[in-house]
Amino acid sequence: MTEPVRIGVVGGGLMGKELLALTGRWNALIDHPARPSVVALADTSPAVRQWWEAAGVPTVAADYRRLLDDPSIDVLYLAVPHDLHEQLYLDALAAGKDFLGEKPFGIDLAAAGRIVAAVDAASCFVRVSSELPYFPGAQRAFSLVRGGALGQVLEVRSGLLHSSDLDRNKPINWKRRKATCGEIGVMGDLGMHVAHLPLRLGWQPQQVYALLDDVVPERPGPDGAMVPCDTWDNAVLAMKVDAADGRRFPMLWETKRIAPGQRNTWFFEAYGMDGGVRFSTRTPQTMQVFGFVDGQQAWSQVQPGHRSAWPTVTGPIFEFGFPDALLQMWAAFLAERAGALGDSFATATPHEALASHRVFAAALASHDTGNSVSLLGDAEPAQH
């Protein structure tokens, strides 16, 4: 039985438009329990509202209250700048709406803590956006690690690398200002993507040492005059994680807006005494698996194909890309909401977002003091 799901979008910019586009590809999913349609948009920008009107979305409003007060809307997608997350997410919960909220799920740790407390107290189904782990190569790497392929864990690395900020003339936008992006800067923008798989595998950082870099301090404003660009551009976090054998292994998270040559590279690597995995969206059709062949150390290159978390009509030999990852995330979100996800890979949880914020707040403290910062006693319960 397929349940129609009426979705209202708050924030019809880059990500809101992606959702509208992907609902048009919903038929690619096989036997999905839900059928979403985007029925409403709220956005304060007249130009954005015009775009959504032209796209034929029935309700287009400036004030998001219109969507919150509409009992015919089942689910909200909340995709606005970070300084607006807390109020909007709390309002959505107070209105009793289920939602997928964009990361970082609050502008800072305090805001995320208040949102997650309200989620825990409500009976709404709420998850956090993070789609890149849905690439088939990432899914394969995750399954291998969860199945114990590493043995004793040696080291974990994950990252999301951009490079468009190499252009010093790129105009300022809200993501490059502390007031709207948050003190955590690039970590708020890219960090949840990097944290999702490690946290899902139960790798809670116990100690954090951060290297934060603000490379470009000003950018052209709307009238061409230079204005402050006061967010962290690049962040490298070196962490220690408790291992099952009583040791602590190193984990590195890299989030960079200025990584020369990397347009939008997400990667996950995990190494152990018995095996290893490597996947990068830069080479999305392959992932690498380490093991022993005839007693020799060997990295094998595997082509996982278009084998998605939720099955699709798409041929297994065809290439998988960013819009497919988003489709898979929404498939997982709506299937879990319908109680039909089974043991398939679930969307990031509010508690995982909160755990990532704890790390980012510790990273700021580490930068300020020049020391590593302990997270002992702060950790979220491991989620598998």
131 binds ligand NAD (CB under 6 A): yes
Q: In the complex, which residue's CB is closest to ligand NAD? A: 13
10 binds ligand NAD (CB under 6 A): yes
- Contact code string over 152-191 relative to ligand NAD, x by CB under 6 A: -------------------------------------x--
**Cβ(320)–Cβ(135) below 8 Å:** yes
Nearer to ligand NAD, 77 or 310 (CB): 77
CA angle 367–201–272, rounded 5-degree value: 85
Nearer to ligand NAD, 40 or 42 (CB): 42
324 binds ligand NAD (CB under 6 A): no
What minimum distance in Å lies between the beta carbon of 184 and ligand NAD? 11
What minimum distance in Å lies between the beta carbon of 376 and ligand NAD? 29
Residues 354-383 that bind ligand NAD (CB under 6 A): none
- For ligand NAD (CB under 6 A), the number of binding residues is 22
CA angle 152–352–30, rounded 5-degree value: 90
What is the three-state SS of 305-334?
Answer: CCCCCCCECCCCCCCCCHHHHHHHHHHHHH
Using CA atoms, how far apart are residues 209 and 365, in angstroms rounded to an integer? 9
129 binds ligand NAD (CB under 6 A): yes
Residues 14-73 that bind ligand NAD (CB under 6 A): 14-15, 42-45, 48, 64
Helix (H) or strand (E) holding 378, with range, is none
What minimum distance in Å lies between the beta carbon of 61 and ligand NAD? 9
Q: Which residues have C-beta within 8 Å of that of residue 340, sequence separation ≥ 6?
A: 33
User: What tokens does 363 get?
Assistant: 């990273």
Exposure class string for 158-178: b at 16+ Cβ within 10 A, else e:
bbbbbbebbeeeeebeebbbb
Q: Of these, 7, 8, 12, 95, which contacts ligand NAD (CB under 6 A)?
A: 12
Give 362's DSSP letter: H
List residues binding ligand NAD (CB under 6 A): 10-15, 42-45, 48, 64, 79-82, 84, 102-103, 129, 131, 189
